[in-house]
Amino acid sequence: MMPLKKTIVVVIFFSIFSTLFLSGCLLQDLIFGTSFTINSWSLSNSDGFPAVSYNYTSSGLVTVKMYNTTSSIADSDIFIRGDGEKTLLLGSYMETLPSGEYVLKAFDKDGNKVFSKTFKFNGFGVDVFSCDQRWWVNGNTKILLGLRVGLRNTGDVPVYPHSIELKTDSETISGLVLPECVLPGDIVYVDCVLYKNGQPKDDDFTLILRDINGLFLTSNVFSFDVSNSVTTRYFSEGVDKKLSVPYPDFLLSYYSNLDRITDEDYSYYVFDPYDDYYLDVFLDRLISTIPFGEKKFDTYSDPEKINFVSRVVQCLEYRDDIEYSNVSEYPNYPIETLFNDKIGCDCEDKAILTASLLDRLGYNVALMRLPNHMAVGVNLSEGAVPHYHYYTNGYYYLETTMEESPVGFVPSQYRTTSSDSEIYPISSRPYIRHTWINNVFTIFTKMNTGDFVKLDAIVENDGRSTAYNIRMEGAFVTSIGLTIQSNDYIISSLKPGKKQKVTITVDIPQTVLTTFRSRIYLNGEVVDSKESSEPFP
């Protein structure tokens, strides 16, 4: 990983005598003790975590802890002398907070409690008061693509709707809510994605909202309104007859506003679940272009199905990232590659889209990273593709940038490097990464216990299976890779789509030049790493 430049917040505690000379505050602490108070506070949403944000005043070094309704520590922080604004988490990622008392306690450097405040909440309440439907009507075809739902938070804790159920015609259709938080008293319109094909038989449907843990949030009954509210886009290259599909403008807007990750493993863009329903729609419409009278898609061989799907991607216009985004690599989400013609569409974009489509069809695929290139690997039995070479770990090579390139064919310019490619499977596996909160770690110096850094980080699982025994390490490392000081934190398990806050403190070595680094270990291997650009001490 490239060194990650970080803004460093330096907190310096001078010696007792110089502080006494410069300020009377420490003398007050010595006589009257450390004081801490909260001047104002409000409920907030912190990157998907329910939290309390508050303004405080402290006369000295304090440790602040937030206790939940079971008296367990939900979050903690270290504060110094002065005024400031901070945020403490109340619960887990996208958690619906239970009713009850949450207690904030502040302790001085000797562990004595100097402040306590109780927050009492009655719990969640949410009303779904409107439901606009996104129907695509094209001739006799009617497809419900998504919903825009109006929500009112009638409780006193944040609400995080995650999934929807639409009950109608004696069936239940499931969908997802694009990430959103509804704070107490707020009215928010959230976008939902789902796929219902065909004219409904019933006049009405019941809409049910649940949180990330499946907890029932609210429901209401609405009437169907089948109208042509979604526009049409067409693809004419790589298909036997013109392909017409609904234009998912709300999904395109969502993905276009997401930050890009810098990991070499672009499986992240395939794992994202919010476009899955639309990719199913796209595949069904693509299959519908098979001319009447020809054999059905279900009777195609595996290579025939793969080539049929990949051909439409191969025919998309190739565009270099640097010409559109002024960066050498700007990976696209599948929806962007299909519909955003104002950004690049190069090898990794086409590979991500192709892998996503084949994955939705049930194929075991992978992203294959070659030097300065990316392709798709398709796992098929040896001999499934006659007359072509069998490549790495059971994956046949699939080129996505060259038209009419069947699975198994390797362009001449990649034949010497394809066997040395890095394989990133798109399968049921965890995908663990971490970020430094606010891109900051804090340095404490001139302390009685020595100098140390405190890192607050968010560890998240963007994969498809639960990760166990994740180890996050914070360490000071020399230029030759020797670890001088370190500390670690173990996350016993992390489910797909979940995040967890981790705080690590590490003593700063004083006798050797080092840099600070954080690493994530899974099954004993480093899966993510970040490093400061500034040396210590």
Structure confidence at residue 8 (pLDDT): 38
Model confidence pLDDT, tens digit, residues 498-527: 999 999 999 999 889 999 999 999 999 999
Q: pLDDT tier at 448 (50, 70, 90 boundaries)?
A: low
Q: Which fold has domain 234-426?
A: C8orf32 fold (3.10.620)
For domain 126-230, is the CATH number 3.10.310.30?
A: no
Asked whether the beta carbons of 30 and 47 are under 8 A apart, the reply is: no
Phi, psi dihedrals of residue 320, rounded to the nearest 5°: -70, 140
Give the model confidence (pLDDT) of 21-54 as tens digits: 333 444 444 445 789 999 999 999 999 999 999 9
What is the spatial distance between Cα 261 and Cα 263, in angstroms, rounded to a whole number?
6
Q: Which one is predicted more confidently, 450 or 263? A: 263
Q: Which tops the pLDDT comparison, 412 or 124? A: 124
> Which pLDDT band, with edges at 50, 70 and 90, does 14 fall under?
very low
pLDDT at 418: 65
Domain boundaries, the chain: 1-24+430-537, 33-123, 126-230, 234-426
Instruction: Please tell me the distance from the alpha carbon of residue 273 to that of residue 269, in angstroms, as a whole number.
Output: 9
pLDDT band at 534 (very low <50, low <70, confident <90, very high): confident
Question: By the 8 A CB rule, do 345 and 319 touch?
Answer: yes
pLDDT of residue 288: 95
Whether residue 184 has pLDDT greater than 70: yes
Query: Model confidence over 74-113: pLDDT tens digits?
Result: 999 998 889 999 999 999 999 999 999 999 999 998 899 9
Q: How far lies 125's CA from each of 128, 208, 209, 534, in Å?
A: 10, 14, 12, 47
Fold match between domain 1-24+430-537 and domain 234-426: no
Per-residue pLDDT band at 393 (split at 50, 70, 90): confident
pLDDT tens across 106-123, in order?
A: 999 889 999 999 999 999
Provide the CATH topology of domain 1-24+430-537: Immunoglobulin-like (2.60.40)
The domain over range 33-123 is classified in CATH as 2.60.40.2550? yes
